[in-house]
Structure 1
Amino acid sequence: MSQKPGWLKTHGAPWERGEAKVVYDNPWIRVTEHQARAPTGQPALYGLVGFKNLALAVLPVHDDGSIVLVGQSRFPAQDYSWELPEGGGPLDADPLEGAKRELREEAGLAAAHWQVILQTQLSNSVTDERAIGYLATSLTPLEPDPDETELLALERVPFREALEAAMAGHLKDMLTVAMLLRGYHMAREGALPAALARAMLG
């Protein structure tokens, strides 16, 4: 990882958390209402959605530069979404094992080589959800084993085609978009094996 630029520094005071009250709790999230103080010194009421799992995403790239996307109906936006294999893993568990599980269950794939390519915060104004993204290569097929609530479709598409679909707004899952852009950046900047980069860039 490159050295942090000098301009990436903290300015001003942080948010202060005061009295907190849990207003909703289930096995996946906890919503807490905080009496808080803003960096400006002003009092504020802050609702925080706390996640009990780490978000995990996998960019599975075949030797020919194609990738696997998963299609499924999503509840919050009430739409159909094409995404990379994604899921969640317990905060106290090895995220790589969770990523391997998601790739196997959703895409029916195993990978010989794994690399962390993205660590990010998702919607950090109202949630504490964090995500880790992996590049998975040297893929071999397995039998998919989706969760009992998942009705999944699979498509193997050229990496560049998926990237262009994301840039056109057809792929809207933010973790998928970020992972595709990261993969593109790595291929362009020489951070991937040359043959794989050429295959991905088409």
Structure 2
Amino acid sequence: MAQKPSARPAWLRPHGDPWTPGAERVAFESGWITVTDQIAIAPTGRPAPYGLVRFKNLAVAVLPIHDDGTVVLVGQHRFPLGNYSWELPEGGAPLDEDPLDGAKRELAEETGLMAAQWREILRTQLSNSVTDERMVGYLALGLSEAPSGHAADETEVIALARVPFREALDAAMAGQLPDMLTVAMLLRGYHMAVEGALPGALARAMLG
């Protein structure tokens, strides 16, 4: 499980009044998202038009680390920005599914790997001013080939790269791996290695 502080700092408490939702009008819906339009009441008490993207899946991301400290990255073309993106394995899990099952499925489909050890290491909100999308991230250790092999989605053409963890982290910090789930998960892995939250031999291999 993700590490948690022993006590919640006082500065984390909410301040002021929350937003008050208004009546929603569905402007667009697909199998992945629902876009709604409404007049909400802001914390200041003033009405404000609000467009909100609701996601039908929970985002899941996997940090697959081999015993030698290398990680597996996935390369594919992304439609929204029209770019080619190298990322950690990631995808979506239906809201009524255990996200760990979704993470295992994405790792197998995108990389052809399975893991002997799984550990939840991160939960985040993605673009929380306009969407309700959330992410759960997992560390995957003890990697081996999955019996099902590589089976990407019918819309995906995926390339794979196995690179040293530190090289991937440095590329992310240089803006060469701009996917936010990838950046967050690599930084979390680095934090765990430095703080002694990983086996010593693995941490040394990652940081070396």
Q: TM-score scaled by structure 2? A: 0.96
Instruction: Give yes or no for the alignment of 1:14 onto 2:14.
Output: no
Distance 1:18 1:81 in 2: 37
Q: Is there any run of 5+ residues in structure 1 with no aligned partner, and where? A: none
Q: Secondary structure at the match of 2:11?
A: coil
C-alpha displacement at 1:33, in angstroms? 0.6
Query: Which of the residues 137, 150, 170 maps onto 1:133?
Result: 137
Q: Counterpart in 1 of 2:200?
A: 194
C-alpha displacement at 1:24, in angstroms? 0.5
Amino acid at match of 1:102: E
Q: Counterpart in 2 of 1:74?
A: 78
C-alpha displacement at 1:95, in angstroms? 0.6
Q: Counterpart in 1 of 2:152?
A: 146
Q: 5 Å matches for 1:1-202?
A: 1-2=4-5, 3-142=7-146, 143-202=149-208
Of residues 121-130 and 136-145 in structure 1, the stretch that sits farther from structure 2 once superposed is 136-145
Q: Secondary structure at the match of 2:151?
A: coil
C-alpha displacement at 1:97, in angstroms? 0.6
Distance 1:70 1:131 in 2: 18
List structure 1 runs of 4+ shifted beyond 4 angstroms: none
Amino acid at match of 2:181: L
- Please report the RMSD computed on the Cα atoms of aligned residues, expressed in angstroms: 0.6
How many residues are matched?
Answer: 202
1:125-154, CA deviations, whole angstroms, 9 ceiling, x for partnerless residues? 000000000000000023211001000000
1:62-86, CA deviations, whole angstroms, 9 ceiling, x for partnerless residues? 0000000000000000000000000
Amino acid at match of 2:136: I
C-alpha displacement at 1:38, in angstroms? 0.5
Q: Percent identical across equivalent pairs?
A: 69
Q: Secondary structure at the match of 2:80?
A: coil
Distance 2:29 2:12 in 1: 35
Distance 1:120 1:11 in 2: 21
Amino acid at match of 2:36: T
Distance 2:28 2:47 in 1: 23
C-alpha displacement at 1:165, in angstroms? 0.1
Amino acid at match of 1:103: L
